[in-house]
Amino acid sequence: MPPNGIYCYLDSDVIALNTGCNNIFYYYKPPITFARDLTTINNFSPYAVNCGCLEKFYKEKENFENLVKKIVNHKNYPSHYTVNEFRKWDRINKQLVRNPFLIIKVLIKNLLRLNFTQIEITENIKLDIKNKEWVIDSSFSYPALILYKKEIKEKTGYKFSFIYHKWHKNNEVYVDDSYSCNHLKELLNANYNINIPKKWHHWNGGVFLFDCNSYNIMEMWHNVTIEIFNDQRWKTRDQSSLIITVFRNKLQNHSVLPEEFNFIADFYNTDITATEKQGVFKKGNKLVKPSFIHIYHEWGNINWDVWKKIISEI
């Protein structure tokens, strides 16, 4: 490797969208430069260690859905992220949860219209109170579980928490798609004496910059990866070993790449959508024009608006 060069590693699921990708090299800070991951370290935890939490979460969700399915008796429950109408509903639902003022705005709008039987959330999404269901794009419906909360509580024991916006049983077992636990932090502390700061965001290995000064870091990352692969407490993920390497080298406050150089488009994150503007995607309320897009799940899914946009523009 020539000593004066700066190099860029790309995972095979990373796509260059425009010539702005060449500007990534201006952001290199030795000894190595990564971008942040898409989730928090606690969300990553169940996928990183063999703590049993992920299996427990899956089982609990399946149990909840099987019980509720008998109550709502609805053809579209449970649904899946491959259904575009369900994705639209999920996206709006998340926005309502995050923004109480949006709920107030919706209520005022419907009060002014004296509309109490079918609440209009957006032009394409309505809450049908009488039939206890969401109506998406006029043709697709999905049960409004919140309107079944009394029956669900009586027949299953699950209650809905308006504080956490989750179904739970005995304030202990929560049903949620955002699986998380503390076991990765605990294992890092017990095995490597690493204390993860509360607001620290781990790195993603899909895109990074390196040069001849990166050898020791990359060699340590490799060795630690082999080490934890031989330890049954860890799952085969090199991001855990990257965290260890980062802290061993006191790089936890090292600068990272801007999101545009590793824009992680997770199929299961419905906040990420395509826009009509060339090269621009939406993440929640934020517009992003990435130079590198990192496809996480569902590579090649032609029904996904993000993938369709990529194919049409490259």
The residues pairing with 236 across neighbouring beta strands, listed in sequence order, are none
Report the predicted TM-score, pTM, of the whole model to 2 decimal places.
0.90
Mean pLDDT for the chain?
Answer: 92
User: Quick one: 18 exposed, middle or buried, by C-beta within 10 A (0-12, 13-18, 19+)?
Assistant: middle
- Residues of the chain with pLDDT > 70: what percent? 98
- Residues of the chain with pLDDT > 90: what percent? 77
**289 near 14, Cβ under 8 Å?**
no
pLDDT tens across 36-73, in order? 999 899 999 999 999 999 999 999 999 999 999 999 99
Is residue 188 scored above 70 in pLDDT? yes
Return the DSSP state at 91.
H
The mean per-residue pLDDT over the stretch 107-123 comes to 79
pLDDT band at 120 (very low <50, low <70, confident <90, very high): confident
* Joined tokens for residue 205: 């290995």
Is residue 114 scored above 80 in pLDDT? no
Between these two residues, 165 and 17, which has the higher pLDDT value? 17
Q: Which residue has the tokens 């993000």?
A: 306
- In this structure, of 74-78, 165-169, 279-283, 299-303, the range with the lowest mean pLDDT score is 165-169
Task: Please tell me the predicted confidence (pLDDT) of residue 161.
Answer: 87
Contacts 24+ apart (CB under 8 A), 278-284: 278/313, 279/17, 279/18, 279/313, 281/306, 281/309, 284/95
Is residue 115 scored above 70 in pLDDT? no
d(CA 267, CA 297): 6
* Joined tokens for residue 306: 């993000």
Contacts 24+ apart (CB under 8 A), 303-312: 303/82, 303/84, 304/267, 305/84, 305/273, 305/274, 306/265, 306/267, 306/272, 306/273, 306/274, 306/281, 308/274, 309/274, 309/275, 309/281, 310/15, 310/17
**241 near 221, Cβ under 8 Å?**
yes
* Joined tokens for residue 8: 């860029």
d(CA 62, CA 78): 10
- Alpha-carbon torsion, ordered 203, 205, 210, 212, to 10 deg: 110
The whole-angstrom distance between residue 180's C-alpha and the CA centroid of its chain comes to: 12
* Joined tokens for residue 245: 């390497």
pLDDT tens across 173-186, in order? 677 777 889 999 99
pLDDT tens across 251-306, in order? 999 999 999 999 999 999 999 999 999 999 999 989 999 999 999 999 999 999 99
Is residue 112 scored above 80 in pLDDT? no
Task: Please tell me the predicted confidence (pLDDT) of residue 173.
Answer: 67
pLDDT tens across 197-232, in order? 988 999 999 999 999 999 999 999 999 999 999 999
pLDDT band at 132 (very low <50, low <70, confident <90, very high): very high
- Strand order of the β-sheet with 263-266 is 14-16, 292-296, 263-266
The mean per-residue pLDDT over the stretch 104-114 comes to 78
pLDDT band at 249 (very low <50, low <70, confident <90, very high): very high
- Of 178, 83, 95, 76, nearest to 134 (Cα)? 76
**269 near 38, Cβ under 8 Å?**
yes
pLDDT band at 90 (very low <50, low <70, confident <90, very high): very high
The mean per-residue pLDDT over the stretch 4-25 comes to 96
- Alpha-carbon torsion, ordered 50, 51, 52, 58, to 10 deg: -90
